[in-house]
Structure 1
């Protein structure tokens, strides 16, 4: 039991089977980002806490060589996307900043919707960002902002790797 909830109740809230939760817990399956969000909501926690750092790099400065790199492919269901944390996750942070590294042809795993707000700045390369019904092409130097409750996804239609500084509040991944 977690938070007084039985596995069956968590599965019902998350919209999955108890079997899937067991496989995830034992490392025999990889959830999509949507499933991670649903499980986190069922557990009444933040998705980012599932990727919590060990605390060894906390402090005022995080050196480039010490930034955690998360390969999102197994957990997100998309492909060609990695995230480099600007600072390690810690409970209590109001913001979360990452550098999204998107390979040519790489894309997020479908639409996401969650509480909060997001801003981004394309450092290099290009991405196609879809927010709701709007589809915009962004290139190096462009920035964006949207409410996270709006369904959103992105992809790299270009021929070079894209790097995007992506900040959201509250921390969600």
Structure 2
């Protein structure tokens, strides 16, 4: 019979990082030493049950979730996972390429702008946006100032100004556009 040993240390480290804590911050919340947390994460020490329960409580989980064999969250998405929407009036197609991206820090989309097409106009909001022109040429309008962005070029800006994309050419343009926090 084959058995696999669970890597408790790596799971503790992963949960700690997901919670944005340093080893020292976690140790302080538990009244433990940073060195002990490091030993736990490297499987050089084993926590008592009470210590493990305390660690998991601080990290926002419980013993059953910690030891469950549930599969990891989906990390790879196929075209069948995408949500696509066509807008004939603005002459664009948007593909949300990461399902449920609102729960993440970033939201990537693919936008195809047909000739004379444009994206929705985004009002100023908190966050940042990045784009990479995969095909064609677009005009980034940022607070009424126009910037031409060609295939293979990128754009990046704070989203605290009115902004949108348009395609003034007679060829289709395709852009990978990422917003943080999710806004699309």
**Fold similarity call, TM over 0.5:** yes
Shorter chain as denominator, the TM-score bin is 0.5 to 0.7
Please state if 1:140 is matched with 2:155.
no
Rg larger for? 2
Higher relative contact order (CA 8 A, sep 6+): 1
1:134 Cα deviation after fit:
2.4
Question: What are the ranges of 5 or more consecutive residues in structure 2 without an aligned counterpart?
Answer: 1-72
User: Partner of 1:79: helix, strand, or coil?
Assistant: coil
- Report the equivalent of 1:106: 117
User: TM-score, normalization: structure 2?
Assistant: 0.56
- Report the equivalent of 2:78: 63
Task: Give deviations 1:43-75, integer Å, cap 9, x for gaps.
Answer: xxxxxxxxxxxxxxx71111124321122x38x
Higher strand proportion: 1
User: TM-score, normalization: structure 1?
Assistant: 0.59
2:139 to 111, 117, 128: 128
Total equivalences in the alignment: 112
Q: Distance in 2 between matches of 1:109 and 1:87?
A: 20
Question: What are the ranges of 5 or more consecutive residues in structure 1 without an aligned counterpart?
Answer: 1-57
Q: Distance in 2 between matches of 1:144 and 1:128?
A: 10
Mapped contact 2:131–2:155 kept (Cα < 8 A): yes
- Report the equivalent of 1:157: 168
Q: Distance in 2 between matches of 1:68 and 1:111?
A: 20
Please state if 1:81 is matched with 2:92.
yes
